[in-house]
Structure 1
């Protein structure tokens, strides 16, 4: 059945699509002409600042008020720095540094980088309170485990990011920090009373609202007392009730990617997830990273059909489209001097302040650096990390802890001391055992670049906690150990 052109255009005004490659395909621009709200850029769209600036100009040639979004959190989640690592530490390091003004300056720098290449909506900051130490998807993306600290830095981050005209999007409402599963892969459940949610998870979102955040992203998580059997993204009690009525948020509610299992899996398909999210009160729908013309048209057609079969009121769709238009109007980029060049000096300064150094590096000169292979979340993607880019003379090797013996490492090291680098080393029994064996007969240093723990192996000379694995974090760690070029 043919879709009504007016309804199709209205539906498109609520959608953030995506496309592959360094140039926009014809259909991406054609959809903008037809009313599409905008596109999200991912690592596959990014080569260098000049190329990104040309790409965003290409999109604006189709329509001037297009929303061009990106996940640029700094730290472990970066798109502009996906080939090298981010020039800035992430939230865990900023929270550990404990200086809200430093957080504001770092986020202002990130905003300037984005504005310089024509991006006007940053799907950041992450404001989840990371109360589950083994959280597989938040971790170092969080400012910390204390609601007051996270709220303080949330306000600073929002203020800094929006100071250059880039709209901030605080995420993931009503709080993804207590989960032990990844909503990319399943629908996590946080089974706590609303009273705990209000005191533990909501203060950072309230701080974001108070700071004037222009967008807030919903989480594909289930909180039974609030959302029932479905995710917050599909819950009117969460979005219209808690976020709009109780917290007083008047900006755009943005969904996390609808392709994620926590949304598409719960609804049965991406188009059905789009309808459920709009009906619950969402305004701007992130379809996901793997998007083509056929999928966008299917989503628009499902939304249009829903306005005629009772699943979605026309007034709710019109309200969502209006809020998205308001977001685009507010995200007006201001001229910047930097041509997309990150402020690496600021990033390293912030990384130093967020780092913790225990022990001494006196016996760790010219070591063999052993980096443990570590996995990465879907949110992070495969981004380079480790000390290698900064080492003056030291050799760095990469090993899989479970497939390596202490004897093979000591044979490679010869008389040299050893510095072990990893992410969440404490969570791998094989990695812990290796470090403990290596520390028996020679000087050992450990650089922990993931979410920290209380684990400290006996006999280690130095233990460094960076609170993240960005390029800036790596530089700070290499300097602290006297290994930097």
Structure 2
């Protein structure tokens, strides 16, 4: 009843302040579900529109996926009211994005959502076997979370090329290396927009893409053709266009891997890469695409598990206050969401205790901890964050700052737990084929 009263008050406040708030799906909704619980929907503002030179003929067909509603976003005052109604555990849950096992709802996934109030889910290839199964899984997640006060991030890595999590029925875009060789900004925007259209059709709302790493080391075992190339200007231009394309479809684009994973010789999925560059070198090369993305209204940045001893000799970038707060926030002026790379990767697992690493990441300025695998590890991170808040290592002010960013972005993009209908794969494939003609 407490949540219900809070959301009724919030809806009334928004109606008074914004007058034009509608009751469309994804808009402001009173606590009117049949069981009296709050609806986990937030209203939207229209994201940046992207490139103006994209012809209408190469834009994705809007009929392929249902367009999200665009009522006004929550005001900061309204968000602060919502924040005050949340418990500390609810706030901590919002700061965790978790992977799940299997292709159907199970007891552990249900517990992550209902008992630990995880703020989002990341999908891998093993979770999305085919379109029908993916639709059923995503709808079951939305339904399970509808009892919570805040909708879920539903995310994946859909970069194109070899990193694709969507079902194999869908036609795929080439690697970023191929796109970089074409060096066609119009195509990059159209590709980002079409991937965004696909994700939206599947009920997803966040993409860990594009890769903004500069492929300056040909022996790099993890980036390679995931990068647009070795030229900072090309990576910047094409990366920003891809980001804007995703945003144009109301998909949150998470640019990665800050401050640059392109000149590494170790795969961070296996162990911790060490990069012997100083800040001046980063400013001249690796940071350039990220600075351009931030200038062009990047909403979210993923921080890499790499050690840069000439900048921070002790902490990898993913929990370095010098890198996250000092460089990303203060020097580059980024005010959006900071997300860690997967904390179960070898770079962290073989060198640090998982719970403590998550706490250090938050203390350094990370807003969302990504824990991609194993339910026990996900719970361990959540419990470690709870204990750190209880012990006042993580202050309530810091917790509120991160959760405010999360709620603001969910509101801006109209994230909701509204169920989807099964996507029309033939239409989506036709859109991909149409865009591919731009570089054929």
- Range into which the TM-score falls when normalised by the shorter chain: 0.7 to 0.9
Matches within 5 A, 1:251-290: 251-268=336-353, 270-288=354-372, 290=373
Paired residue for 2:98? Answer: 17
2:311 pairs with 1:226: yes
Paired residue for 1:155? Answer: 240
Q: TM-score, normalised by structure 2?
A: 0.73
Paired residue for 2:402? Answer: 320
Matches within 5 A, 1:207-356: 207-268=292-353, 270-288=354-372, 290-292=373-375, 294-309=376-391, 311-332=393-414, 339-341=424-426, 343-344=428-429, 347=432
Count of residue pairs brought into register by the alignment:
347
Deviations along 1:125-152, one digit per CA (max 9) or x if unpaired, are: 1110010011100011000101111000
Supply the distance in 2 between the matched residues of 1:52 and 1:146 (Cα, whole angstroms): 37
Runs of 4+ in 1 over 4 A off after TM superposition: 83-86, 333-338, 340-354
Supply the distance in 2 between the matched residues of 1:29 and 1:214 (Cα, whole angstroms): 29
SS at match of 1:69: strand
Residue pair 1:138, 1:177 contacting (<8 A) in 2 also:
yes
Could you tell me how far 1:348 is from its partner in structure 2? 5.7
Residue pair 2:159, 2:211 contacting (<8 A) in 1 also:
yes
Question: Which ranges in structure 2 are unaligned for 5 or more consecutive residues?
Answer: 1-85
Could you tell me how far 1:58 is from its partner in structure 2? 1.4
Supply the distance in 2 between the matched residues of 1:241 and 1:73 (Cα, whole angstroms): 28
Deviations along 1:392-437, one digit per CA (max 9) or x if unpaired, are: xxxxxxxxxxxxxxxxxxxxxxxxxxxxxxxxxxxxxxxxxxxxxx
SS at match of 2:339: strand
Supply the distance in 2 between the matched residues of 1:338 and 1:248 (Cα, whole angstroms): 39
SS at match of 1:305: helix
Residue pair 2:142, 2:152 contacting (<8 A) in 1 also:
yes
Residue pair 1:19, 1:25 contacting (<8 A) in 2 also:
no
Deviations along 1:150-199, one digit per CA (max 9) or x if unpaired, are: 00011101100111111000000000001111111111111112111011
Provide closer, same or farther for how the CA distance between residues 341 and 332 of structure 1 changes in structure 2, counting only shifts above 3 A.
Answer: farther
Paired residue for 2:250? Answer: 165
Higher-Rg member (1/2): 1
One of 142, 148, 163 as aligned partner of 1:77: 163
Deviations along 1:239-282, one digit per CA (max 9) or x if unpaired, are: 111111111111110111000122233322x2222111111100
Provide closer, same or farther for how the CA distance between residues 352 and 105 of structure 1 changes in structure 2, counting only shifts above 3 A.
Answer: closer
Supply the distance in 2 between the matched residues of 1:165 and 1:53 (Cα, whole angstroms): 19
Residue pair 1:121, 1:167 contacting (<8 A) in 2 also:
yes
Residue pair 2:194, 2:432 contacting (<8 A) in 1 also:
no
- C-alpha root-mean-square deviation of aligned residues, in Å? 2.5
2:130 pairs with 1:130: no
Paired residue for 2:5? Answer: none
Supply the distance in 2 between the matched residues of 1:154 and 1:221 (Cα, whole angstroms): 21
Supply the distance in 2 between the matched residues of 1:322 and 1:172 (Cα, whole angstroms): 23
Residue pair 1:123, 1:169 contacting (<8 A) in 2 also:
yes
Supply the distance in 1 between the matched residues of 2:111 and 2:181 (Cα, whole angstroms): 46
Supply the distance in 2 between the matched residues of 1:336 and 1:104 (Cα, whole angstroms): 26
SS at match of 1:320: helix
Paired residue for 1:45? Answer: 127
Supply the distance in 2 between the matched residues of 1:277 and 1:143 (Cα, whole angstroms): 28
Question: Which ranges in structure 1 are unaligned for 5 or more consecutive residues?
Answer: 355-475, 477-485
Could you tell me how far 1:327 is from its partner in structure 2? 2.7
Provide closer, same or farther for how the CA distance between residues 120 and 345 of structure 1 changes in structure 2, counting only shifts above 3 A.
Answer: same
Supply the distance in 1 between the matched residues of 2:314 and 2:334 (Cα, whole angstroms): 24
Supply the distance in 2 between the matched residues of 1:301 and 1:80 (Cα, whole angstroms): 31
Residue pair 1:87, 1:342 contacting (<8 A) in 2 also:
no
SS at match of 1:266: coil
Q: TM-score, normalised by structure 1?
A: 0.67
